A and B are shown apart, each in its own frame.
Chain A
Amino acid sequence: MTETSASAAPIQRPDLSGARLKRRYAAEARFRLYGLIAVFAAIGTLVLLLTSIISNGYTAFAQHHIALEVTFDEAEIDPTGEREYNVLRRANYQGIARASLRGSFPDVTERRAKRALVGLMSGSADQTLRDIVLANPDVIGTTQTVWVKASDDLDSFMKGHISRDVPESDRRIKDRDIGWIDQLIADERIESQFNTTFFTAGDSREPEQAGIWGATVGSFLMLFVTLVLSFPIGVLSAIYLEEFAPKNRWTDLIEVNINNLAAVPSIVFGLLGLAVFLNFFGLPRSAPLVGGMVLALMTLPTIIIAARAALKAVPPSIREAALGVGASKLQAVTHHVLPLAMPGILTGTILGAAQALGETAPLLMIGMVAFIVDIPGGFTDSATALPVQIYLWADSPERAFVEKTSAAIMVLLAFLVVMNAVAVLLRKRFERRW
């Protein structure tokens, strides 16, 4: 060991002086602080996002109504007096509603002012009256107090979205309107009620008549198609790849392909749906069936990856035990491995479904952005979906749609929270450590 001659050199021990250590510890504290700041910045933006949505949206669950003293005049509604359905249905309820409101403000006589006054009331007032008459024709000939929806402008004003302090020319509610509103308030004829329409109606151009039920039904029809297609296909291919497939180039290719497919931008799936499902196979536009098929292709990689992970987690000893008592390979898998892996597979599927429920871009490509008022009744009816509805409302110019959009987001997030909670519970409940 001639090399050791170097060790004769004087030994210099580490510099452990206080100043240097202090500097190093300052750097340590700084670094740690950056990390903490980053975590809190991320959490902070989440909180900011949620507060911004909720503070904008919670008001949409209430809607202001105006009380009208409605005289259901028989001569006006049912001149023949036979209470025939078609006659009752076609009566001029709009005129009745307008006359009732004008009746409360007898001093308003000018034409333009009259029109502005009627504008405080929602265009749906006639429907409200018609429903009352059709449900109970006995009201004809009586005078009733009826609560009808206020217009979106009045509603926004009452909720404080339109401020009195803004110069008159910059707000949609004019000083004259405010005078009327104050009078209505003084008479206790404006009231905030729970907005059931929001949960039961389809889309509408009028914010106060718009609801998310149509979009919700569309979303769930689509989700049904997605799951019916992607769950069996996903589980079958996962079983094949994990349990049966030989390790060769072909299965390698499938594997790489699945991983890449999971990262393809969603809009590309939309293009695929447009080119293949709509233009080649001629399936109907805007249909939940096509939307579900596109989303199924998108969710498939997620489900396959999750299912493979769940299958992989089942220890080989289980398979060996089953094979050892004379089960075929398929029996070993279906009787033992698959049931044990099922919670994991279901968790992955639910997470994939949650992802599909929030997906928007591919649906735009296959025409689900159409303005659809009716509640879809089947898989081939024109429909829209919750996230697309959010997109459509976000684009609408009316101020009142901001709160509707936020409220629709809250509903969508609520669905996602429920789905994720189920997934977490499933994992917690059935998690097994081998």
Chain B
Amino acid sequence: MSLLILAATLLLLTLAGYYMGRGRSVAVSQGVTHRLHSRPQYYGVYVALWCGMPSFLLLALWLALEPQIVEMILVSNLPASILDLNPDQRGLIVNQITSLALGGIVGGNITPEIEAAARDYAGMRQTGFAAMAVLVLCIAIFGLALGRKQIATTLRARNRVETIVSAVMIVASTIAIATTIGIVLSLLFEASRFFTKIPVTDFLFGLQWSPQTALREGQVGGSGAFGMLPLFAGTLLITFIAMCVAVPVGLYSAIYMSEYAGPKMRAIAKPILEVLAGIPTVVYGFFAALTVAPFFRNTGDALSLDVSSESALAAGIVIGIMSIPFVSSLSDDVMNSVPQTLRDGAFALGATKSETIKQVVLPAALPGIVGSVLLAVSRAIGETMIVVMAAGLAANLTVNPLEAVTTVTVQIVTLLVGDQEFDSAKTLSAFALGLMLFVVTLTLNVIALRVVRKYREKYD
């Protein structure tokens, strides 16, 4: 809470800087503001930037780094009896100390050393915060004074402000890149730690997936197998079923919407189709588990077929329904951008509408349609909630859609939800799976976007 007060104080100071800068500039121009290089508000913004930017940057930096630094000091001050423990146990004790210091409820036995360390730790955090507050406020006030002092009629405030704004914009636009790099690095880093425990080849080509690792050395039945193939097979099976629904329905709807439907029908039906894309996936997952899966199981019972209640069919079909709008809206766009002259050419030969569509419009739009289907495939592969709620957990290597299969995303969720120690192969394997998922979907996206882009260039 006190952090909020500090931030609010900084904001107020910045605001004060704006008014001071503006007032000062009017004063130095002796009221004749056109003698200034820039309009007065630019001087205001200039002073405000001097006041706010360095202090907020420092605040953010401090907040990001302080816990690490304090923890390092904490560890270096720990008594030797604790330092000699193995890293896992040491980490546990450090966790105990920090949560004790922050007033949390701590399990396990609390020794006097731990209590002392916790007191130290709490003290350090408090001193740290106080130091930060003082430092940040000093810098803000110093910046304010410095900015205000520079104001003169010749100060090119506008140009300087614009330079800063441009720099901020460039930084903002690199955040997207930073995100990608962050994803790649964090996945690579964690996955490489996994591969030091499990060989890469075992992971890539193994046919067994049962991520049980021994909690104690020599525990029975905890050998663990980390072969990802059954997971990818399950993912592909479900994706295939989904595309069997999404591609025909999506494509035929797109054809109907772009070639046959009148403006009225389009105006009503198109938004309804788009609603399908706006429904959260958790809702689809609930629908799959509550309505679709039991329906298939009961139908199977009636036909004396053995349908699992977590069948790949149910999950696949619901993912397919979810993907309909991805296929239909992009295909619709693509078909609309096929030039009318091509249709005219076919009509002028005496082709019927369906002949024109099948033989001229679709072949012309094919690259774009392929792109839209690839994007839908990539979505289906990465879809999580529907399969978590409606697909199974057991890794079966099967192509029977009536059986339960599991997917990559389901396993990531089951591995990481709930309490896990962070260094076990079991937990780290989730990152290896995430890396594979990212690589596969990224490849599909890159191909799809490229195909669509090429297509656009052709007709634009």
Q: Which residues of A contact B (CB under 8 A)?
A: 14, 24-25, 27-28, 30-32, 34-39, 41-43, 45-46, 48-49, 52-53, 56, 232-234, 236-237, 239-241, 244-245, 253-254, 256-261, 263-269, 271-272, 274-276, 279-282, 297, 300-301, 304, 328, 330, 354-355, 357-361, 364-365, 369, 378, 387-388, 390-391, 394-395, 402, 405-406, 409, 412-413, 416, 420
- Measured in the bound complex, the distance between the Cα atoms of B285 and A412 in whole Å is 14
Q: Is the CB of B384 within 8 A of A275?
A: no
Closest residue of B by beta carbon distance from A25: B352
Contact residues in A for B352 (Cβ distance below 8 Å): 24-25, 27-28
Among B233-257, those with CB < 8 Å from A are 248-253, 255-257
Would you mind naming 9 contact pairs between A and B with Cβ atoms under 8 Å apart? Answer: A35-B256, A38-B250, A233-B175, A258-B176, A259-B449, A268-B438, A330-B165, A387-B282, A391-B388
Contact residues in B for A269 (Cβ distance below 8 Å): 183
Contact residues in A for B62 (Cβ distance below 8 Å): none
- Measured in the bound complex, the distance between the Cα atoms of B61 and A281 in whole Å is 11
Query: Which of the listed residues A27, A42, A409 has the most CB atoms from chain B within 10 Å of its own CB?
Result: A42
Q: What 0/1 pattern do residues 430 to 460 of B give for CB contact below 8 A with A?
A: 1100100110011001100100000000000
Contact of A254 among B174, B250, B325 (CB under 8 A): B174
- 4 nearest interchain CB pairs? A265-B382, A358-B280, A35-B256, A38-B252
B325 to chain A, nearest CB (A): 8
A406 to chain B, nearest CB (A): 8
Contact of B430 among A42, A271, A361 (CB under 8 A): A271
Contact residues in A for B111 (Cβ distance below 8 Å): none
Contact of B190 with A by CB under 8 A: yes
Closest residue of A by beta carbon distance from B418: A369
Contact of B212 with A by CB under 8 A: no
- Measured in the bound complex, the distance between the Cα atoms of B197 and A204 in whole Å is 40
B310 to chain A, nearest CB (A): 13
Contact residues in A for B165 (Cβ distance below 8 Å): 330
B366 to chain A, nearest CB (A): 17
Among B218-273, those with CB < 8 Å from A are 248-253, 255-257, 259-261, 269, 272-273
Closest residue of A by beta carbon distance from B427: A274
Q: Is the CB of B417 within 8 A of A369?
A: yes
Q: Is the CB of B176 within 8 A of A261?
A: yes
Contact residues in A for B383 (Cβ distance below 8 Å): 265
Among B335-376, those with CB < 8 Å from A are 350, 352-355, 357-358, 375
- Measured in the bound complex, the distance between the Cα atoms of B353 and A265 in whole Å is 39
B28 to chain A, nearest CB (A): 22
Contact residues in A for B328 (Cβ distance below 8 Å): 42
Contact of B286 among A35, A245, A361, A409 (CB under 8 A): A409
Q: Is the CB of B290 within 8 A of A240?
A: no
Q: Is the CB of A27 within 8 A of B382?
A: no
Q: Is the CB of A256 within 8 A of B353?
A: no
- Measured in the bound complex, the distance between the Cα atoms of B281 and A154 in whole Å is 32
Interface size on B, as a range, is: 35 or more
- Contact A264 to B177, CB < 8 A, known contacts A38-B253, A271-B412, A358-B280: no
Contact of B282 among A37, A41, A263, A358 (CB under 8 A): A358
A332 to chain B, nearest CB (A): 11
Q: Is the CB of A297 within 8 A of B179?
A: yes
Q: Is the CB of B182 within 8 A of A276?
A: yes
Inter-chain CB contacts under 8 Å: number: 262
Q: Is the CB of B280 within 8 A of A263?
A: no
Besides the contacts A28-B353, A244-B169, what 17 more A-B pairs have beta carbons closer than 8 Å? A31-B357, A36-B260, A37-B252, A46-B272, A49-B291, A53-B287, A232-B172, A254-B174, A259-B449, A271-B187, A271-B416, A272-B186, A275-B187, A282-B67, A328-B158, A358-B280, A361-B409
Contact of B389 with A by CB under 8 A: yes
Q: Is the CB of A394 within 8 A of B350?
A: no
- Contact A236 to B168, CB < 8 A, known contacts A36-B256, A361-B413: yes
Q: Is the CB of B280 within 8 A of A45?
A: no
Q: Is the CB of B354 within 8 A of A300?
A: no
Q: Is the CB of B280 within 8 A of A359?
A: yes
Contact of B109 with A by CB under 8 A: no
Q: Is the CB of A38 within 8 A of B285?
A: no
Contact of A35 among B67, B158, B260 (CB under 8 A): B260
Contact of A260 among B180, B291, B413 (CB under 8 A): B180
- Measured in the bound complex, the distance between the Cα atoms of B277 and A355 in whole Å is 10
A104 to chain B, nearest CB (A): 37
Contact of B195 with A by CB under 8 A: no
Contact of B378 with A by CB under 8 A: yes
Contact of B64 with A by CB under 8 A: yes
Contact residues in B for A378 (Cβ distance below 8 Å): 1
B241 to chain A, nearest CB (A): 15
Contact residues in B for A25 (Cβ distance below 8 Å): 352
Closest residue of B by beta carbon distance from A334: B165
Contact of B131 with A by CB under 8 A: no
Contact residues in B for A41 (Cβ distance below 8 Å): 249
Q: Is the CB of B190 within 8 A of A275?
A: yes
Q: Is the CB of A27 within 8 A of B175?
A: no
Contact residues in A for B375 (Cβ distance below 8 Å): 263
Contact residues in B for A354 (Cβ distance below 8 Å): 278
Contact residues in A for B353 (Cβ distance below 8 Å): 28, 32
Contact residues in B for A271 (Cβ distance below 8 Å): 183, 186-187, 412, 416, 430-431, 434
- Contact A360 to B172, CB < 8 A, known contacts A46-B275, A267-B437: no
Q: Is the CB of A391 within 8 A of B385?
A: yes
